[in-house]
Amino acid sequence: MDEQRRTPMIDPLPFITYAFVMSITPGPNNVMLTASGARFGLRHTVPHMLGICTGVAIQLLAVCAGLGALFNHWPALQLALGWAGAAYLLFLGWQMLRGGDVQASDNARPVSFLAGTLFQFLNPKAWVMTVTAAAVFLPREFGAVARSAYMVGVTEAVGIPCLVIWALFGSSLKALLATPRNRRVFNVCMAIALAATAVAMVAK
């Protein structure tokens, strides 16, 4: 009787490994954080990182509740979100090119908390991560609250340090961007990276 009432045990290592690989590898969020860290510094990039964390958490909770099934019934919905996300990245790349020699002018602003949150719903990589996580690693033997807390807890515990690493990588480049020429080169490189990411988001 006691064994039947015992809390189910799960091995979190496979989920942790999956979350790490998906979080640390290059993607829209990480490219944007690198650019933001380099242009505005780590402190001003924190709202962007918090927005990413919040958006992914909301998205994961929604997927665990069954939202991910919509993509199985209407694949065009996921495609439309991907195109919208790609357009947003192209817009950001164009903004960087327009920045010219200005490193952080009055017209240049880091991505806000709200924009970082909302972008996750246009980010195909985030959808792939959350839908796959729910399909493969969701502990269905747990109650609804417990399994949601487990999924979000593991994802955020692994994802936050990865986001910080990319933002720190960008901020470490600030010294190199002291000259207008280096800033122009960096802006062009980041714009190309954003454009390449946008193409990868829709080229399937």
- Each of the 204 residues of the chain gets a pLDDT tens digit; together they read 444 455 567 788 999 999 998 899 888 899 899 999 998 999 999 999 999 999 999 999 988 887 656 666 667 766 676 687 778 778 777 877 776 544 444 457 889 999 999 999 888 888 888 888 887 888 878 888 888 899 999 999 999 999 999 999 999 988 777 777 877 887 788 788 778 777 776 665
The domain total for the chain is 1
The answer to whether residue 66 sits within a structural domain is yes
Which residue has tokens 């954080």? 33
Please give the model's pTM, rounded to 2 decimal places: 0.77
The answer to whether residue 7 sits within a structural domain is no
The answer to whether residue 133 sits within a structural domain is yes
Q: Is 68 exposed, middle or buried (0-12, 13-18, 19+ CB in 10 A)?
A: buried
The answer to whether residue 5 sits within a structural domain is no
- Residue 118 and residue 192: Cα distance in Å, rounded? 23
* Structural domain harbouring 52: 12-99+108-202
The answer to whether residue 28 sits within a structural domain is yes
The residues near 111 (Cβ < 8 Å, ≥ 6 apart) are: 32, 36, 47, 48, 51, 119
The answer to whether residue 1 sits within a structural domain is no
The answer to whether residue 4 sits within a structural domain is no
